[in-house]
Amino acid sequence: MQTTKIVIAIDGFSSCGKSTMAKELARKIGYVYIDSGAMYRAVTLYCIDNDLFENDTVNESELQKVINTLQITFKINPESGKPETYLNGENVENEIRSMRVSDKVSQVSAIPFVREAMVAQQQALGKQKGVVMDGRDIGTTVFPDAELKIFVTASPETRAQRRLDELQKKGSNVSFEEVLDNVKKRDYIDQNREISPLRKADDALLLDNSKMTLAEQDAWLIAQYNRVIEK
């Protein structure tokens, strides 16, 4: 029997494991995984590489001229089986995860016309359902009617350590303090911006995974999916 496809929204604080669990769930249930944060990161990389930052401020009128021409797409890497982000045809997967992008992404994501453009693309990508999307405003703004909503959190120190381990594995020599500072700053900007601030949707399930292993959180998430599907 074919099960009805639903939309699964996974929101929460930076670096807690949203995309890891979202990707794994999507793989198990044959859904498409969409990393909405990668889209904001790609816009930020565009701004950095095209000199749209002037003394730490974005040249919004220049960005507004091009925002709807930016092509942000995802393609599965056949070797790793994982989705990678492309900006205007170029693979930017590694670059968008760098600290130079992390440093500026929350500032760019707070710009209303940037959000408007990204939300429209995300809604189009999830229109047919059968998607797991992670981000900050998926359950509140992008898919307020999502059938399953999760809000993930963990202590800032735990999150910074997880992100540090990941960056160090990729060869970055960033410090714990630098990562912790970035995580806290982004949380602050993301929670306090005017448009679609980061917050738990009233009907989202809260998951604090500070003390959970990857296997435990994966098992918890698939149980939530099965509960919704079997209703």
Ligand X SMILES: Nc1ncnc2c1ncn2[C@@H]1O[C@H](COP(=O)(O)OP(=O)(O)O)[C@@H](O)[C@H]1O
Q: Which positions lie near ligand CDP, rule CB under 6 A? A: 14-15, 36-37, 40-41, 105-106, 109, 135-138, 186, 190
Q: How far is the CB of 137 from ligand CDP (least distance, A)?
A: 5
Which CB atom, from 6 or from 39, has the smaller least distance to ligand CDP? 39
Residue among 83, 181, 169, 63 at smallest CA distance from 131: 83
Query: Per-residue x/- marks for ligand X, 145-174, CB under 6 A?
Result: -----------------xx--x--------
Report the C-alpha gap between 218 and 46 in whole angstroms. Answer: 34
Q: How far is the CB of 120 from ligand X (least distance, A)?
A: 22
Which CB atom, from 82 or from 227, has the smaller least distance to ligand CDP? 82
Taking contact as CB under 6 A, which single stretch among the options 84-92, 107-115, 171-179, 209-217 is the one that binds ligand X?
209-217
Taking contact as CB under 6 A, which single stretch among the options 123-131, 139-147, 199-207, 210-218 is the one that binds ligand X?
210-218
Query: What DSSP letter does each residue of 127-193 carry, written as one string?
Result: TT--EEEEESSIIIII-TT-SEEEEEE--HHHHHHHHHHHHHHTT----HHHHHHHHHHHHHHHHH-
Residue 20 marked as a ligand binder? yes
Report the C-alpha gap between 41 and 26 in whole angstroms. Answer: 22
Query: Per-residue x/- marks for ligand X, 78-107, CB under 6 A?
Result: ------------------------------
Would you give the DSSP letter of residue 68?
A: G
Is residue 44 within 8 A of residue 50, CB to CB? The reply is no
Q: Which residue in the shown chain puts its C-beta closest to ligand CDP? A: 37
Phi-psi region of 213 (alpha: psi -120 to 50; beta: other; left: phi over 0): beta
Q: Who's near 145: CB < 8 A, 6+ residues apart?
A: 7
By rule CB under 6 A, what count of residues binds ligand X?
Answer: 16
Is residue 101 within 8 A of residue 45, CB to CB? The reply is yes
List interacting residues with ligand X (CB under 6 A). Answer: 14-20, 134, 162-163, 166, 209, 212-214, 217
